């Protein structure tokens, strides 16, 4: 959240600059690994951000907390809680039983809606919990659909290069499309959900709710 706060203060300055050089209505945030967590957080809490692009954010980032314990090799919640200040003190009592949490990360995805969101993940590193990340994206995508903005979210974990935070050819085209659509405002390509079969979550196993319609009267 400290990084998110810092990014928001930068946007404050951009707004005050008058838009002659930088445009406050065309701001995107991105980062990989721990910086992916930061990008995910600021994108959720600052509605001035037009496009949020977290990459391989891992436990305490995009992956649903409830899914992490059952995903072999994913960083345990207790590890993420104690490793760095990713999670508040109150989270400590939930590390052993995340099913009792009143919220989960698909709702953070929903907080970004209807603004642009492109989640990029790596299914080749178990520690990153990409299966749980796909569930978060699929669950959050339902919020986008409810708002009539289903084309504004993208998720991509179907990649070949398993190195952490690598530059990947598979992401080039969808990244360009998202930048054109939300930052340059010169495109209108629909979002794409492309989940690797190696780490594919099943939303139906996790939800007991139906997607409402939140648009119109």
Residues with a known catalytic role = 33, 164
Number of CB atoms found within 10 A of residue 209's CB: 7
* Interatomic CA distance for residues 53 and 153, integer angstroms: 10
Measured in whole angstroms, the distance separating CA 55 from the mean position of its chain's CA atoms is 8
Q: Residue 27 belongs to what H/E stretch?
A: strand 27-32
Buried b (16+ CB within 10 A) or exposed e, 40-70: bbbbbbbeebbbbbbbbbbbbbbbbbbbbbe
């Amino acid at each position: 959240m400290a990084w998110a706060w810092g990014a928001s203060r930068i946007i404050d300055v951009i707004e005050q600059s008058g838009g002659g050089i930088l445009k406050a209505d065309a701001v995107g945030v991105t980062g990989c690994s721990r910086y992916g967590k930061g990008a995910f957080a600021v994108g959720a809490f600052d509605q001035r951000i037009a496009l949020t692009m977290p990459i391989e954010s891992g436990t305490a980032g995009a992956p649903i907390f409830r899914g992490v314990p059952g995903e072999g090799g994913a960083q345990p919640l207790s590890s993420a809680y104690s490793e760095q200040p990713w999670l508040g003190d109150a989270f400590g009592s939930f590390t052993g039983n995340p099913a009792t949490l009143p919220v989960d990360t698909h709702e953070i995805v929903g907080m970004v809606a209807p603004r642009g969101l492109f989640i990029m993940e790596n299914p080749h590193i178990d520690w990153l919990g990409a299966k749980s990340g796909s569930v978060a994206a699929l669950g959050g995508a339902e919020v986008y659909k409810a708002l009539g903005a289903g084309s504004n979210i993208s998720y991509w974990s179907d990649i070949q290069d398993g190195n952490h935070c690598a530059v990947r050819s598979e992401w080039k085209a969808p990244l360009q499309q998202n930048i054109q659509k939300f930052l340059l405002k010169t495109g209108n390509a629909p979002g794409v959900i492309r989940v690797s079969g190696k780490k594919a979550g099943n939303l139906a196993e996790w939800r007991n709710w139906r997607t409402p319609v939140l648009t119109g009267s």
